[in-house]
Structure 1
Amino acid sequence: MTLTVDAPAADALTDVAPPAEEKPVKAPVKRSAGRKAKTIELILTVTGTADGEWRAELKQGSSYLARDLAVAASAVSRAARELHDDLATPIDSIIEEARSQQAAKVAALEAELEAARRVLADLD
């Protein structure tokens, strides 16, 4: 398209289309204030007994990823320390209580064994 103007006037310049080599201005892309990251919920359940046996299971939604795994008390303690001190303190106290109970049980069994050995020696 060609436009011919006899006399340049201020009105005529505003009606002229932009030259072909000029690129139209694009509207800026609107970005959201903050993208919310997709969260993944995993439920790790660690169960301990007074005897010092620890079991773990891992669940995602309603599906079990791992079930009834035997876990060492020391591994539970290390994992809790790695996660947070507020987790490690109560878990370590529970493990220490179980350790004390097992030590008392060992002492009682050793005393019983020693008594049985004395009885056996008297029978010879």
Structure 2
Amino acid sequence: MSPTSEATETEAPAETAQAAQAEPAKAAEPKAEQAEPKAEAAPEQPAKRGRKPSTARKTRTVELTLTVTGTMDGEWQADLSHSGSRVVQGLQIPAAAVSRAAAELHEDISKAIESVLDVAREQHQARLAELEAELTKVKQALADLQDG
């Protein structure tokens, strides 16, 4: 073998070692590049899941809002809205109807409304007692005027 071929042979293992060291680095780079598209693909999968129509979209819902307001005088009224527009406004309803409707809807609703109605009943009973006492005084005054 000639000196040049020996040098080439001795250099070749060194170059091979350098190339082997460089190749894992190069091999690692494509793996990292390959890992990146997988990372990008992962967010796409939930997006595909999000594109599936939900049962809420399939089920048609109707939004109605019933607002019942009352005063301590026992005057109740109802307002009904459908999708933000008023359908009925200021409809007078009796307190007994409010109580029956609440009982039909749910026990918790009924309890809440009955507590409000109980307070109103107590106030009306107190006012009735005051008026009866006043009526008794007026009747007595009238009786005294007729005797005289």
Q: Secondary structure at the match of 1:46?
A: strand
What's the RMSD between the two structures over aligned residues? 1.8
In the TM superposition, residue 36 of structure 1 has moved relative to its aligned partner by 2.8
- 2:69 alignment partner in structure 1: 47
Task: Count matched residues.
Answer: 94
Identity in percent = 49
* Greater length-normalized contact order (CA 8 Å, ≥ 6 residues apart): 1
Question: Within the alignment, does 1:64 sit opposite 2:91 as a pair?
Answer: no
The whole-number CA distance in structure 2 between the counterparts of 1:36 and 1:87 is 30
Q: For each residue in 1:77-97, what CA deviation from the matched residue of structure 2 results, as whole angstroms up to 9, or x when unmatched?
A: 111111111111010011111
Structure 1: which 4+ aligned runs deviate by more than 4 Å? 32-35
Q: TM-score, structure 2 length as denominator? A: 0.59
Change (3 A) 1:111 1:62: same
- 2:50 alignment partner in structure 1: none
In the TM superposition, residue 33 of structure 1 has moved relative to its aligned partner by 7.3
- 1:97 alignment partner in structure 2: 119
Q: TM-score, structure 1 length as denominator? A: 0.70
Q: 1:113 aligns with which of 135, 143, 148?
A: 135
Structure with the bigger percentage of helix:
2
- 2:101 alignment partner in structure 1: 79
Change (3 A) 1:39 1:115: same
Q: Secondary structure at the match of 2:96?
A: helix
